[in-house]
Amino acid sequence: MKRHLISAADLTRDDALLVLDTAEEMARVADRPIKKLPTLRGRTVVNLFFEDSTRTRISFEAAAKRLSADVINFSAKGSSVSKGESLKDTALTLEAMGADAVVIRHHMSGAPHRLAYSDWIGGSVVNAGDGTHEHPTQALLDAFTMRRHLSGPGRDLAGRRITIVGDVLHSRVARSNVLLLGTLGAEVTLVAPPTLLPIGVEDWPCEVSYDLDAVLAKSDAVMMLRVQRERMNAAFFPTEREYSRRYGLDGLRMAALPEHAVVMHPGPMNRGMEITAEVADSPRCTAVEQVKNGVSIRMAVLYLLLGGAEPAVSAPAPARTEENNQA
């Protein structure tokens, strides 16, 4: 793998499969009584968050701690950033403190790239979401979840049909998923009102539809996206009721899916808008499973970026036999 993970486009098919396969090994650690590996002992991981976050920040923190790294959590609120400190000066401060990896979430698209390819910091940089640009580890955990349900360990997603529905315009999750799922061989279809599709979407490696009901019957997985009102500065659809009627997933639409199909959501959910409570709480919805898989994926990413020369999970020592004792 490269030194940084900024975009899902940074990953080749082999890179993506390596992360997914490593995450399978990391997932076994969660079943142990002691959920820790010594892999990153002595390394320092800084979670540099300029935006509010629950799942992603806690997930990265848990991943680093399970690998025995030292973790520093940085929130822009209550820090020198609120006094006007620049990203450069914040990065130089972290470098002086010996950060081996910086996990950054920023409201400005491109901030992680600027941090990674400047001379401000010497460690690895992981993009935990930048503006409306990308969120590569979310795409990896989504692919990991799909693979477990649709393909099986060690395989890609070739031939699987994935439908992503909702606010694509403001979604960094959608962008990363389109890139990564395409790399893994899946066929991706975006479904949204025209006002919630970005300019140039026709050049993305995916299909586009405005009719959710037309694509459900041939979908192996449906991913519902949250309408991100906090990023909107205009009216993108008439009413919430109208949006939910045309692009929300309810029980009737879920029944139109093939029996093996799963319903996904990156969270947080707006229940009653893009997804009903009935669907969100059904056994076919993998939202909670995605959160669990996120820790394994982020353990794999940190391990491969910072430590990956040795096996991720050591094999158990061979049992001592009487013959060995005599020797």
List, by residue number, the catalytic residues: 55-56, 83, 105, 135
The answer to whether 3 is a known ligand-binding residue is: no
* Backbone dihedral angles phi then psi of residue 265, each to the nearest 5 degrees: -155, 125
The answer to whether 105 is a known ligand-binding residue is: yes
The answer to whether 147 is a known ligand-binding residue is: no
The answer to whether 238 is a known ligand-binding residue is: no
The answer to whether 83 is a known ligand-binding residue is: yes
How far separated are the first and last CA of the chain, in Å rounded? 43
The answer to whether 145 is a known ligand-binding residue is: no
The answer to whether 12 is a known ligand-binding residue is: no
Please name the helix (run of DSSP H) or strand (run of DSSP E) that holds residue 182, with its range, or none. helix 172-183
Amino acid symbol at 165: V
- CA–CA separation, 295 and 138 (whole Å): 11
- CA–CA separation, 263 and 278 (whole Å): 12
Closest CA to 21 of 255, 256, 308: 308
The answer to whether 290 is a known ligand-binding residue is: no
Place of tokens 């079943």: 31
- CA–CA separation, 18 and 326 (whole Å): 42
Closest CA to 302 of 37, 28, 31, 13: 37
Place of tokens 């519902």: 224
Alpha-carbon separation of residue 59 from 30, 118, 131 (angstroms): 13, 27, 19
The answer to whether 32 is a known ligand-binding residue is: no
The answer to whether 268 is a known ligand-binding residue is: yes
Annotated binding site for L-aspartate: 83, 172, 226
Annotated binding site: 55-56, 83, 105, 135, 138, 172, 226, 267-268
